[in-house]
Amino acid sequence: MFKRILIANRGEIAVRIIRACRELGIESVAVFSDVDRKALHVRKADYAYHIGPATASESYLNIDKILEAARRSGAEAIHPGYGFLSENANFARACRDAGIKFIGPSPESMEMMGSKTRARQNMKRAGVPFVPGSERGLELDDMERLAEQVGYPVMLKAAAGGGGKGMRLVSSPAELHSAYENARSEAQRSFGDNEVYIEKFIANPRHVEMQIFGDEQGNVVYLGERECSVQRRHQKVLEESPSPIVDEDMRRRMGEIAVRVGKAAGYYNAGTVEFLVDRERNFYFLEMNTRLQVEHPVTEFVTGLDLVHLQFHVATGQPLPFKQEDIQLRGHAIECRIYAEDPDNNYFPSPGKITRLISPSGPGIRRDSGMYEGWSVPIEYDPLLAKLVGYGEDREQAINRLLRALYEYFVGGIKTNTSLFRRILKDPDFRAGNIDTGFLDRLLTKPNNETDPRRPIIAAMGAAIFASAEAQATLPGTTVAVSTNGKAAPPPPISGWKRMAREEAVRER
Amino acid sequence: MFKRILIANRGEIAVRIIRACRELGIESVAVFSDVDRKALHVRKADYAYHIGPATASESYLNIDKILEAARRSGAEAIHPGYGFLSENANFARACRDAGIKFIGPSPESMEMMGSKTRARQNMKRAGVPFVPGSERGLELDDMERLAEQVGYPVMLKAAAGGGGKGMRLVSSPAELHSAYENARSEAQRSFGDNEVYIEKFIANPRHVEMQIFGDEQGNVVYLGERECSVQRRHQKVLEESPSPIVDEDMRRRMGEIAVRVGKAAGYYNAGTVEFLVDRERNFYFLEMNTRLQVEHPVTEFVTGLDLVHLQFHVATGQPLPFKQEDIQLRGHAIECRIYAEDPDNNYFPSPGKITRLISPSGPGIRRDSGMYEGWSVPIEYDPLLAKLVGYGEDREQAINRLLRALYEYFVGGIKTNTSLFRRILKDPDFRAGNIDTGFLDRLLTKPNNETDPRRPIIAAMGAAIFASAEAQATLPGTTVAVSTNGKAAPPPPISGWKRMAREEAVRER
Amino acid sequence: MTYDIVVDGKIHHVEVTRGEKLWSCRVDGQEMEVDAALTARDVLSLLIGGKAYEIKRERSLQGELHMVIGSARYAVEVQDPRSLRTRRAVAGADSGPQKIKAAMPGKIVRILVAEGNEVSNGQGLIVMEAMKMQNEMKSPKDGKVHKILTAEGSTVNAGDTLAIIE
Amino acid sequence: MTYDIVVDGKIHHVEVTRGEKLWSCRVDGQEMEVDAALTARDVLSLLIGGKAYEIKRERSLQGELHMVIGSARYAVEVQDPRSLRTRRAVAGADSGPQKIKAAMPGKIVRILVAEGNEVSNGQGLIVMEAMKMQNEMKSPKDGKVHKILTAEGSTVNAGDTLAIIE
């Protein structure tokens, strides 16, 4: 096994990988930008190296700086996490050239899969089903012709893309031109590559993906699917495994195709094959993600495996320690992505200082978090703070445990989207498994009435008791100045409380 | 399902049951003594009733007060947790008479099993294997005779006992008299019953127990064993499932005997049948615990079931939702009991205010806790603060994940036994599965050298930097007064830190 | 002590008096005996006739005071009855000119309206990019774009006024 | 600034100076450049040539200062070099009369020795019951029971001296 591994990432995924290192007796090396000196991944690592300013391109996306940190730390391998350099074949190649093991697939597999159009060609040869559309990036006029051919609505997608960037839905020829320009410029901004291709648009599909795992001996297995249809602006918000609509037979067929995709790409380490599923449960190859997914914990819960341990294992060149038939799926798991964003304000990002953090635990609850009380969420990066994952004997128990855990979760000082998950998990359609990629947008248009008429009165009383207990330390009759002191943490409990505490102490004897 | 359930307990188990209530949409009713007004179980419940002074006999052990609270709250059922009234048949009967469902077995089963000697008679009839000894409580002279007969060493045990109270090992006739008297008086003190019986002593046995579950239709299943050999003073410290020495065949035989025990007692709800296992892997019936065990989470991890949900389910009169053959055991789980006690001071209890609490989470880690930062651990009750449970694909991964989690766990202000678990989990014998009830005592006699020569220097530097940063707010050159302020929480960061923070802020731009 | 407390825009008149063991509270004329205990910083446990409430107090970056009960969050303003701010706080919601402020630092990607345009409640005004996400700031009311105080491509700080709707 | 710091009974001479970005530290003559950051209350993050240390500071009920690094805990005393307490702290361990104190409130169950008895290091002296557990308090050294200051059955408070061994 490796002696020392550098994690070229930040936040919850860096923490999760550092934990895996500690579990296996591997020394972990963190890297951090100026604004991440106090980040949790730096606190938890055995080594930490500063790699530059907040701007990702000058730190977490900077290949030279990361390799320099790896050399200085003597790391034998690098885990890229997700995002940042995780799907950058040049980085994987640079690691190889530097004699450092990149924990992931070969740069060749990444390149083949990285460009959606090339992936498409290879997969077609492997007999993988596709949504009708263009094989590769098109100029506007070709695109107009093909759009007419497959029929509107159509979807424009960035060839180098992912996570919804550079995607545009076009429902009529009139919109195609501007959509095409926007998609190209956004693709250029996001990926430095403005190649855009076209696909027939499938109304309200499900997004189901299959986890695969390969070793360098050429063995590839599938570890069950994940349902990722609950999305906002093409961003996954909640994922689960198994999918409510996938039965054993469909799982086997989808899994075998995913394995074929992996083998066609000479794939090893962890990968995910994404499919679109239509109402008739036909599925079409969407894309392959050549990295560990954000949502890998739901697969870990239902398989009982640790995918990061497994990544380390195969990266050392050893074969997979099990065969397809050894995989035992059991129970149901659901992941909620806790973001620093304000549900009451159009999900606007909400960075800042976490003044209070009360975290859930207990049966069936896993929490992968990158935050802690007193830490300030920087504005420069993705607002994912933590992942709350619930396991249950069945889907209903997993849902109920998550609702319980969300009830316990309190993040003070900033806004988070926890209330969104309460809405989702209580929604009758969701509970019945009736979800598709349009589900969340529909839900958010419904009025949100989580109200108990008595509560506002309790809130008023609580505010008065807080104020009264503290006022007694200052001038009687004055009130708490709400506007002042807002940015600082609230003042410590003062004599009003102290007296109250003393009284209780007396009472308790 | 019940609408409202009262939990006649406190601490982590009350919290765990309250969580199950919330998950199932059941309203939870907590009860609390004077010193528990701020306890976590009171914070988490939907209702809470004060039931008297700190002394358990006047609160948590007081049947009338608990039933009164149940009546006032309108609870339809009572969950007793473990300890306190959980194995008190009179309480179960009083609940029945009050028309409140006791979530557990019938008072009749409890009585049959409550007295070890009567249990023994019934089990013998059911063909359950026993350690040679007396059928019932004996007078001294009979005891001397029988001791000669089965041969020394022998063990004296309280008929009404449990958890090591009233137990005495006697290795020669000379010791029998005083041991007998001590056992009787301790039994009287602990259980109000001085009946004491005798058993042949098996050197360094293993303690393995089988979880069973019954419904009121008479179905009884077994849910796998738990190895509980790691004990200090006959108190379980760490438990795991499966046992390193139990294979499928032994599990089936042990499980079937446990089911026979349950059926012989007309048992329903959750119960545990304890066995002694000798070096040849022969097992002997020890006792039956007619309650949910502290260590039930390890069984929940390997079965994927929620035993408290299941308790509620069968308590409503419904049959078990599965059959024996549906039980799927997978992976390995280990539980560490985190106690407020000082490993460096002979494991002396260490109550007091928790000034800092940093809790582990992440893959394969479950934490059932009754503490929170700022809470004061009362001196009146059992020092169990929390249970840290680790799951893994196999035993080694479970051990490594626990070590990782223990590394993250920090409880400030009081002492806890976390360092003990690091010693156990790193011990070669433990890792090889070579454990018996004498294991821990042997381990504790070994020198504990968890030392890194560099660390004390780092500690000194850290102390100096803490002191320097704070000193600059006061008079230069003065040092931190260690002796003062000890009881209060440490002072908030002051201008020394503020300046440092500002400098960092500047640097980070 | 007596307070006027605005909860989500509605005023409640609250009197609280600490007794030996319990607090006597009167909210909008309704009497209650309350067992109140501060369990942790900013965490208040209330027992009212057996019913338990945990109230978490939070001050947001913008300085608003919130009371969080279970999963419900309430914006709260504690008022000295003699002050006038209450009425504003309650009335303010819809009448008069509204400032569109940047809730956090970011970059202005697009401005969708021009000064003088009529806008309706919920209509998109300005697209801002922050934390790798584009967000549309919408009009809080039907009205008219009185002023645009920023330009496409410019970087803004939290609290900056970007536009005024009247 | 300069400190004599006692870690688990051993003195270290420590000089710390805060620079622009880093702290210059000299411990027992050894020079180090340290990147120090307070990440949370009582939690200090140190980076020394890439190696990361998290140090948690704790004051116990008895007022002792501890530094916790990873899973290791160190009893620390920060000394003004001019004071004399240091020498005591270091020497004190074994010489002179030792008080046996109750670490917490409890009940004395049994007293196993009498005044004047010779006792050896680790020998049981007093059995105390607290938190439902009986605990034997042992002699910290070889010596003689100078005084017994409690009786069987009596209730004692934290810090009470129960016996003196000389």
Across the interface, of C46, C56, C77, the residue whose CB is closest to A482 is C77
pLDDT in the model for residue B484: 29
C157 touches chain B (CB under 8 A): no
DSSP of A178-197, one letter per residue? HHHHHHHHHHHHHHS---EE
pLDDT of C81 reads 59
**Count of residues in chain B:** 509
pLDDT-derived band at B212 (thresholds 50, 70, 90) equals very high
pLDDT surpassing 50 at residue B362: yes
CA dist B246 and B237 (Å) reads 20
H-helix or E-strand spanning residue B332: strand B332-339
The pLDDT of residue A505 is 44
Alpha carbon distance C115, C118 (integer Å): 9
- With beta carbons under 8 A apart, name residues in chain A contacting C129: none
Helices (H), C74-139: 85-91
Please give the residue of chain C at the shortest CA–CA distance from A234: C133
| Helix (H) / strand (E) containing B43 | helix B40-44
Helix (H) or strand (E) holding A405: helix A395-408
State how far the Cα of A29 lies from the Cα of A33, in Å rounded to an integer: 14
Residue-wise DSSP of B385-413: EEEEEEEESSHHHHHHHHHHHHHH-EEES
Backbone angles phi, psi at A390, to 5 degrees: -115, 135
Average pLDDT estimate for B284-293: 94
Check: CB of residue D129 under 8 Å from CB of residue D104. no
In this predicted structure, the answer to whether residue C16 has a pLDDT above a threshold of 90 is: yes
In terms of CA atoms, which chain B residue is nearest residue A44?
Answer: B408
- D147-D148-D149 Cα angle (round to 5): 110
Report the Cα–Cα distance between both ends of chain C, in Å, rounded: 39
Distance from CA of A130 to the nearest CA of B (A): 35
Over the Cα atoms of chain A, what is R_g?
25
pLDDT of residue B111: 92
pLDDT value of position B162? 67
Check whether D133 has a pLDDT greater than 90.
no
Residue C107: the pLDDT is: 84
D18 vs B464: CA distance, rounded Å: 11
The pLDDT profile of chain A, 509 residues, written as one tens digit per residue, is 999 999 999 999 999 999 999 999 999 999 999 999 999 999 999 999 999 999 999 999 999 999 999 999 999 999 999 999 999 999 999 999 999 999 999 999 999 887 766 777 778 888 899 888 886 788 899 999 999 988 899 989 888 876 677 788 999 999 999 999 988 888 888 888 888 989 888 888 999 999 999 999 999 999 999 999 999 988 999 999 999 999 999 999 999 999 999 999 999 999 999 999 998 899 999 889 999 999 999 999 999 999 999 999 999 999 999 999 999 999 999 999 999 998 888 888 888 899 999 999 999 999 999 999 999 999 899 999 999 999 999 999 999 999 999 999 999 989 999 999 999 999 999 999 999 999 999 999 988 766 678 899 999 999 999 999 886 643 333 333 332 233 333 333 344 455 554 444 444 43
**Which pLDDT score, from 0 to 100, does residue C43 have?**
95
Gap between the Cα atoms of B411 and B353, Å rounded: 10
Closest CA to D101 of D52, D61, D41, D46: D61
Q: What is the DSSP letter of A25?
A: T
Cβ(A65)–Cβ(A52) under 8 Å?
A: yes
3-state secondary structure of B22: helix
Q: Which residue of D has its CA nearest to A69?
A: D50
Residues 70-109, chain D, touching B (beta carbon < 8 A): 70-74, 76-80, 103-106
Is the bond preceding A244 in cis, omega lying within 30 degrees of 0?
Answer: no
Collapse the DSSP code of A221 into the 3-class scheme (helix H, G, I; strand E, B; otherwise coil) and give the result: strand
Helices (H), D19-105: 85-91
Question: Contact at 8 Å (CB) between D146 and D165?
Answer: yes
Beta bridge partners of B214: B220, B269
Q: CB within 8 A of C127, min separation 6: which ones?
A: C108, C109, C110, C111, C112, C134, C135, C136, C137
Residues of chain D found within 8 Å of residue A377, distances taken between Cβ atoms: none
Min Cα separation B217/chain D (Å): 39
pLDDT for residue B225: 98
Sort out which chain B residues have CB atoms less than 8 A from A22's CB and list them.
403-404, 407
**B498: pLDDT strictly greater than 60:** no
| CB neighbourhood size of B121 (10 A) | 12
| Burial annotation B67-95 (CB, 10 A radius, 16+ → b, else e) | bebbeebebbbbbbbbbbbbbbbebbbbb
Beta bridge partners of A284: A276
Which of chain B's residues have a Cβ under 8 Å away from the Cβ of D18? 468-469, 500
Handedness of CA A343, A344, A350, A352 (dihedral sign): negative
Shortest CA distance from C46: residue in chain B:
B43
Which among A238, A131, A204 has a CA at the least distance from the CA of A434? Answer: A204
Task: Give the residues across from A339 on adjacent strands.
Answer: A384
From chain D, the residues in CB contact with A42 under 8 A are 45, 52
The pLDDT of residue A346: 83
Instruction: Sort out which chain A residues have CB atoms less than 8 A from B331's CB and list them.
Output: 304
Instruction: List the single range of A291-295, B117-121, B299-303, D26-30 with lowest mean pLDDT.
Output: B117-121
Q: Is B206 a catalytic residue?
A: no
- Rounded to two decimals, the ipTM of the complex is 0.82
CB contact under 8 A, A23 and B403: yes
In D, which residues are within 8 Å of A49 by CB distance?
50
- On the CB side of A274, CA atoms within 13 Å amount to 23
- Higher confidence at residue B437 or residue A498? B437
User: Which of A432-441, B14-23, C122-131 has the least mean pLDDT?
Assistant: C122-131
- 3+ Cβ–Cβ pairs closer than 8 Å linking C and D: no
Can you tell me the distance from the alpha carbon of A112 to that of A89, in angstroms, rounded to the nearest whole number?
Answer: 10
D36 Cβ under 8 Å from any chain B Cβ: yes
Q: Using one digit for the tens of pLDDT, what is the confidence trace for D49-72?
A: 999 999 999 986 667 899 999 888
Q: What is the mean pLDDT of residues B460-469?
A: 93
Q: Among B168, B291, B337, B422, which one carries the catalytic annotation?
A: B291
Q: What pLDDT is attached to residue B499?
A: 52
Residue % of chain B over a pLDDT of 70: 91
A48 → closest Cβ in D41, D43, D50: D50
Q: Is the pLDDT of residue B319 over 80?
A: yes
Backbone φ and ψ of A296, nearest 5°: -60, -25
Q: Does D37 touch chain A (CB under 8 A)?
A: yes
pLDDT in tens, B112-152: 887 766 777 778 888 899 888 886 788 899 999 999 988 89
What is the three-class DSSP state of A410? strand
Q: What pLDDT does residue A486 have?
A: 32
Catalytic site residues of A?
291
**Cβ neighbours, 10 Å, residue A280:** 6
Residue among C10, C38, C60 minimizing CB distance to A500: C38
d(C-alpha C12, C-alpha C17), whole Å: 16
Q: Tell me the two tokens of residue A230.
A: 């609950």
User: What local confidence, expressed as pLDDT, does residue A309 receive?
Assistant: 98
pLDDT at A232: 92
pLDDT at B475: 34
The residues near A201 (Cβ < 8 Å, ≥ 6 apart) are A152, A153, A154, A155, A169, A170, A171
Where does residue D27 fall: left (phi above 0), alpha (psi -120 to 50 degrees), or beta otherwise? beta
Q: Please say if the pLDDT value at position C98 is more than 70.
A: yes
Is residue B492 scored above 50 in pLDDT?
Answer: no
D87 pLDDT higher than 80 = no
Cα distance between residue C72 and residue A419, in whole Å: 8
pTM of the model: 0.84
Partners of residue B377 on adjacent β-strands: B352
| Residue of chain A minimizing CA distance to B397 | A23
The token pair at A329 is 């799926």
Comparison of pLDDT for A447 and B482, the residue scoring more: A447
Cβ–Cβ gap B47/C50 under 8 Å = yes
Q: Per DSSP, what are the bridge partners of residue B162?
A: B165
Separation of alpha carbons B167 and A423, rounded Å: 55
Average pLDDT across chain C, whole number: 84
Chains sharing 3 or more CB pairs under 8 A with chain D: A, B
Q: How close, in Å, is residue B476 to chain D by CA atoms?
A: 9
Find the helix or strand (DSSP H, E) in which B252 lies.
Answer: helix B248-264
A297 touches chain B (CB under 8 A): yes
Task: Output the CA angle B354-B360-B362, nearest 5 degrees.
Answer: 160
Of B37, B47, B372, the CB nearest to C51: B47
Residue to substitute from A328, A393, A454, interface B, most B β-carbons within 10 A: A393
The pLDDT of residue A116: 66
Looking at chain C, which residue has its C-alpha nearest residue A353?
C61
For chain A, which residues lie within 8 Å of any Cβ of chain D, measuring from their own Cβ?
29-30, 37-38, 42-50, 72-73, 372-375
DSSP code of residue B192: S
The pLDDT value given to residue B78 = 98
Q: Is the dihedral of CA A42, A48, A54, A58 positive or negative?
A: negative
Residue B399's φ and ψ, nearest 5 degrees, are -60, -45
Q: Find residues 127-156 of chain D whose CB sits inside 8 Å of chain B.
A: 130-133, 135-138
Query: Do the Cβ atoms of D65 and B467 come within 8 Å?
Result: no
Q: Is the peptide bond before B153 cis (omega within 30 degrees of 0)?
A: yes
Tell me which chain A residues have a C-beta less than 8 angstroms from the C-beta of B369.
361
pLDDT at B192: 84
**Distant-in-sequence, close-in-space partners of A58: CB < 8 Å, separation ≥ 6:** A33, A52, A65
**Does D45 contact A46 at a Cβ distance shorter than 8 Å?**
no
What is the Cα gyration radius of chain B?
Answer: 25
Q: Which of C18, C71, C104 sits opposite A450 (nearest CB)?
A: C71
Among B268, B272, B297, B298, CA closest to B285: B272
